[in-house]
Amino acid sequence: MKTTQSLFATILLIVIATLSIHTHAQEVIELNKQQFLEKVWNYETNSDAWKYNGSLPCVIDFNAKWCGPCRQMNPILNNLAAKYAGRVVIYKVDVDKEKELAALFGITSIPAFLFCPVDGDPRGTMGAYPADEFEKLIRTVLLGEKVE
């Protein structure tokens, strides 16, 4: 009986620890057009000026499944999404599925990234980056930190 109780207690602790880890970790969130309009910028109702809808700054990764450099960036973005959870949101937009969004921002080469501070205009960049350089962009452009 004590063995069963000990086993049950151990399993319960593992489940609680796992839930705790997953509730604090953030993942890269895929956006379609409707979600983009709600979470980032509703250009259909506010087409004359950029107005970011989010409460946290974000990075939007414009990518495609067939793109090698895009696939290279996936683990980097996943790690940064977890590291900056609660401070920065990382979204991704599949340019093959969301052609209108890609065209809206003039995306002609991927991967392309849009850095959206809570206040101010977004800043775009293209190409794959090493993890440390991409993190510097997040820290300087979105969080306003001075990084050397």
User: Does residue 70 have an active-site annotation?
Assistant: yes
The DSSP string of 25-76 is ----EE--HHHHHHHT--TTT-TTS-----SS-EEEEEE-TT-HHHHHHHHH
Torsion sign across C-alpha atoms 63, 90, 44, 48 = negative
Out of 28, 31, 67, 101, pick the active-site residue.
Answer: 67
Cα(71)–Cα(87) distance, integer angstroms: 24
The question of whether 116 is a catalytic residue gets the answer no
Catalytic residue among 58, 70, 80, 116: 70
Grouping H, G, I as helix, E, B as strand and the rest as coil, residue 131 is helix
Q: Could you give the residue numbers annotated as active site?
A: 67, 70
